[in-house]
Amino acid sequence: MPDQNKYQVALAGLSYANGKPEIAGGIKCEPQDFVVTELMEVIPSGEGEHAWLDVVKTGLSTDRVAKALARHAGVAYRDVGFSGIKDVRAITRQWFSVWLPKNPSFDWSDFEMEGVVIHCASRHTRKIKRSTHKANRFDIRISDVEGDLSLFNNRLQSLLACGAPNYFGEQRFGREAGNLLKAEKLFESSRRIKDRNLRSIVLSSARSFLFNIVLSERIKNGSWCQLLPFEPAALDGSNAVFPSNQEPENDTRLHELDIHPTAPLWGRGATQSASDYHALSVFESEIIHAYTKLSEGLERAGLDYQRRAIRSVPKSLSAEIRDRDIYLKFDLQTGQFATSILRELVGIISK
């Protein structure tokens, strides 16, 4: 096995909230083992220039389906909208929009693509933009579990009580953390990244990595479920972040998972934004200092500094054990990763 690069090593060493799981099982062995349904806040009105398509895809990337829809409709790729990038090794249900201002009665019944079913088509006045769905619903099977299954319930109860570390999933970083190596190389060249898709991949992977390593250190020092002095807090179920100012009631809200501590999404203005919570800023900057090529590259790219919750709380979670398989159902807020929930519950056996 070839030597791992520094990013692979760092990602492999991310801390667990309750130690590495004692049991392990197969995940995504078959597409039907990982079913994702997008939950939208907006319902198409039935009128407008954009066709909205309720699509189920199996074993395909979101991007590949979007390009196929664009070809079929005879429009540019930029005229196709979708809210989230969904898993390839899965069955996923999500909405796409296609801008067809001159063809209000376009017929989608003859669209054919293996692994794709259009459940319904409607019209709406707006294009679907990224991250406009409110949540994702997951139906997951963990197969052929090895180890003492009685230990699973203990982990599940800990997760329900405290949430899970809100890590960005490994898919964000590419094969062998290749997206991060690409980011480092592009940042070193100081060239403007003209390809919009490449720019998005590079910037999001670099930001996500720095967030993950800060969160990992918060778990190590035992502060990931606490608000540090004057730390900005995140409201559960939203992207809203506000100054905590050490109000006494925050301890209760933390315990009830109503608010969460945060870690940085690095970018321009990091130093200025951190001036109100100096001790936390020093702690985070010391961790990120080992990856200055990424942090400085993000600042030069012009992304604004933000904060993100470091705990992930699945909603409507249920679990059932059948023989040696575990069946999980839960909803997750947009931008959170089911694989990070699974990582706390079971080890993964490659099949």
Which CATH number goes with the domain that contains 185?
3.30.2340.10
138-189: pLDDT as tens digits:
999 999 999 999 899 999 999 999 999 999 999 899 989 999 999 998 888 8
pLDDT at 249: 87
pLDDT at 276: 67
pLDDT at 302: 85
234-272: pLDDT as tens digits:
999 988 998 887 788 899 999 999 999 999 999 998 877
Is residue 262 a part of any domain in this protein?
yes
pTM of the predicted model over 0.85: yes
Nearest to 227 by CA among 260, 199, 194: 260
Q: Catalytic residue positions? A: 87
pLDDT at 143: 96
Is residue 161 a part of any domain in this protein?
no
The label of the residue with tokens 């389906």 reads: 65
pLDDT at 77: 94
Whether residues 83 and 140 fall in one domain: no
Query: 311: helix, coil or strand?
Result: strand
Cβ-based burial of 335 (10 A; exposed 0-12, middle 13-18, buried ≥19): middle
Is residue 339 a part of any domain in this protein?
yes
Q: Please tell me the total count of domains within the chain.
A: 3
Whether residues 209 and 251 fall in one domain: yes
With a cut of 70, list the residues of the chain below it in pLDDT.
1-2, 190, 273-276, 350-351
pLDDT at 246: 74
Task: Find the helix or strand (DSSP H, E) in which 175 lies.
Answer: none
Structural domain range at position 51 = 42-131
pLDDT at 275: 62
Whether residues 216 and 281 fall in one domain: yes
Whether residues 143 and 80 fall in one domain: no
Q: How far apart are CA 309 and CA 242, in angstroms?
A: 11
Whether residues 98 and 201 fall in one domain: no
Nearest to 225 by CA among 296, 343, 313, 154: 313
